[in-house]
Amino acid sequence: MSATAPALLIRAGLPADRDTIIDFNQRLAHETEGKFLDRAVLSAGVDSALADPERLRYWVAQSGSTEPLLGQAAITREWSDWRNGWIWWFQSVYVVPEARSQGVFRALYQQIRAEAFAVPNVIGLRLYVEQENHRAQQTYLAMGMRSGGYHVYEEIWTDRFAAPSA
């Protein structure tokens, strides 16, 4: 596929995409943070998202309805009391290596942006990116996003929720 390839199919993630989404999330964690995620915990998280898109909603990209998935993005929502509206946060953005720099993320972004813009109380889009991921930062800048001027701090309790029992 090249930059002039036919339009990509961007659609909501479905339960049938579960295994690929889990695989993409595993790859994403390893490639960007050097982490190996507990597959049982990750699987339960993906299952929860697919069962309740209000919690987290996936979009996937493919070159045709019967073709393998090329990429994904997910959205969570944050209420902004300062702006009286929802901000949609991108997360779990992944494009398979052989499809990078070919417009897959751009197509996902444009579809999600259009859907967000159609909802009157959605007031913007945000994402976070690893500080050293300069390639991704350049991509986001080229698409019209700008640095929000924030650093993200966190306290994550990795052992709080154990893997689901079999």
Q: Tens place of pLDDT for every residue, the chain, 166 residues?
A: 444 445 899 999 999 999 999 999 999 999 988 999 999 999 999 999 999 999 999 999 999 888 999 999 999 999 999 999 999 999 999 999 999 999 999 999 999 999 999 999 999 999 988 888 888 899 899 999 999 988 888 888 877 766 665 5
Domain assignments of the chain as residue spans, ordered by start: 9-142
Beta strands 9-12 and 57-62: pairing type? antiparallel
Phi, psi dihedrals of residue 60, rounded to the nearest 5°:
-130, 155
Best CATH choice for the domain 9-142 from the list 1.10.3720.10, 3.30.470.20, 3.40.630.30, 3.40.50.10090:
3.40.630.30
Residue partners of 99: CB distance under 8 A and separation at least 6: 1, 70, 71
- Give the whole-angstrom CA distance, residue 31 versus residue 100: 14
Block residue for tokens 């295994």: 19
Q: CB pairs under 8 A, 24+ apart, for 74-78?
A: 74/13, 74/49, 75/112, 75/116, 78/126
